[in-house]
Homo-oligomer: A and B are copies of this chain.
Amino acid sequence: MTYCVGLLLNDGIVCLSDTRTNAGLDNISTYRKMFSFEEPGERVIVIMTAGSLSVSQTTLAELREAIEDPEATPETSIMLAPTMLKVAEIVGDRLAAVRAEIDDKMSAAQGASCSMIVAGQRKGGAMRLFLIYPEGNFIEATEDTPFLQIGEHKYGKPILDRVVRPETTLADAQKAVLLSMDSTLRSNLSVGMPLDLCVIETDACRVTMRRRIEAGDPQFRDMSDAWSNALRDGFGKIMI
């Protein structure tokens, strides 16, 4: 499985994904699930994927081909699309088509599926954050719910529900997604290190911070330990 989360804040967008994929519990590998497309200062798009690797890899490959195609148009290339909404549509259509094709090859019972988070901004437009369903339709993050998650999203949702608001700072937002991931890592074996974290500051139209956090990363471990201690202390102080 997978856990990916994206936050849409006043100051920017924060994205975090794990890297574990598995075909059964005895066949675990590391695959990047976060992909960025940039024309710095003009346009930035980050895509995170959860679900069948066969679907996500093919979809990403086709999106890249469409960008590189000399005959690319605003209808086919996410780097030429006039709006982020159009980007989400292109990704959704491509995802739905690939999924349907692969589904046809598989038994109905198995069914390959994949969902994606698409985040980004083009110069002159607003920052936007979409969740694309396997069927190609999508929803968008709003002020009321400024975060979207795909994959094993439930373990890490309580901390986001409590902490994340549009006015949350980018530093606090990074802390929130990392603690959300930490809870997921602890409670679900199928989500694993290393992690990919990126930040897109408002109106920068580029990825302003990008970090891979490896297993055993001392900073992440310290944060995780501090959070455990804070929870234990808090728990100890509560009277019922």
List residues of chain A with CB under 8 Å of any chain B CB.
152, 154-155, 157-159, 161-163, 171-172, 174-176, 178-179, 183, 186-188, 219, 223, 226-228, 230-235, 237-240
Residues of the B chain whose Cβ atoms lie less than 8 Å from the Cβ of A237:
226, 230
Query: Which of B154, B161, B232 contacts A163 (CB under 8 A)?
Result: B232
A-B residue pairs in contact (CB < 8 Å), sample of 12: A154-B188, A158-B158, A158-B186, A158-B187, A161-B187, A171-B240, A175-B238, A178-B240, A223-B238, A226-B237, A227-B235, A233-B234
Closest to A156 in B: B158
Closest to A183 in B: B158
Residues of the B chain whose Cβ atoms lie less than 8 Å from the Cβ of A176:
235
Give the Cβ gap from A201 to chain B, nearest Cβ, in Å. Answer: 17
Given A154-B155, A158-B186, also A240-B219 (CB < 8 A) = yes
Give the Cβ gap from A17 to chain B, nearest Cβ, in Å. Answer: 17
With the chains together, A226 CA to B238 CA distance in Å? 6
Oligomeric state, in copies: 2
Closest to A228 in B: B162
Residues of the B chain whose Cβ atoms lie less than 8 Å from the Cβ of A228:
162
Whether B230 pairs with A235 at a CB distance below 8 angstroms is yes
With the chains together, A179 CA to B234 CA distance in Å? 11
With the chains together, A239 CA to B240 CA distance in Å? 30
Whether B161 pairs with A235 at a CB distance below 8 angstroms is no
Beyond A159-B235, A176-B235, A233-B234, 18 extra complex contacts between A and B, CB < 8 Å: A154-B155, A155-B155, A155-B158, A161-B186, A162-B186, A163-B231, A172-B235, A175-B235, A178-B240, A179-B235, A179-B238, A219-B240, A223-B240, A226-B234, A230-B233, A231-B231, A231-B234, A234-B234
